[in-house]
Amino acid sequence: MKKRKKILLIAIIIMGIGALLFPNDALAQQSGIKRTELQRQDLSVSGREAIQVRIDFEAGAAFGKHSHPGEEIIYVLAGSLEYEVEGSLPVTLKAGNVLFIPAGQIHAAKNNGNDKAVELATYIVEKGKPVLVMKK
């Protein structure tokens, strides 16, 4: 019985860590957005890590205003996505296009198309901080 409780406790801790790093994944999954972490690596710069995530947007799906504790580099793999970056006009990117979002910059993304859109997001962020912070 004790072994079963330890396994349950470990599972709860792992889910909690995931919720801290990507606090809105449950919301994203429900809104037609799926985030799949591909890799996470420490960098040679102390206190920084690189995280790569594949983000699938169903047709019409949108991810609200948010920021990251570091830079985000976006590469659109499929479809077309509209990005709103605070202080700039909205921009629509198609497969093969890239976008750089500075640290702390508030932005949002949505798939205005009729087909699925996919991006590869690379984050260069402060280690130990939540990767995603929704704007309140």
pLDDT at residue number 20: 44
CA distance 129 to 21: 7
pLDDT at residue number 126: 93
Q: Among 21, 15, 13, which residue's Cα sits nearest to residue 129?
A: 21
Task: Tell me the pTM.
Answer: 0.76
pLDDT at residue number 2: 65
The token pair at 73 is 């580099």
How does pLDDT run across 16-63, given as a tens digit for each residue? 444 444 444 444 444 899 999 999 999 999 999 999 999 999 999 999
How does pLDDT run across 64-114, given as a tens digit for each residue? 999 999 999 999 999 999 999 999 999 999 999 999 999 999 999 999 999
pLDDT at residue number 90: 97
The token pair at 123 is 């984050």
Q: Among 65, 73, 72, 115, which residue's Cα sits nearest to residue 90?
A: 65
The amino acid sitting at 35 is: R
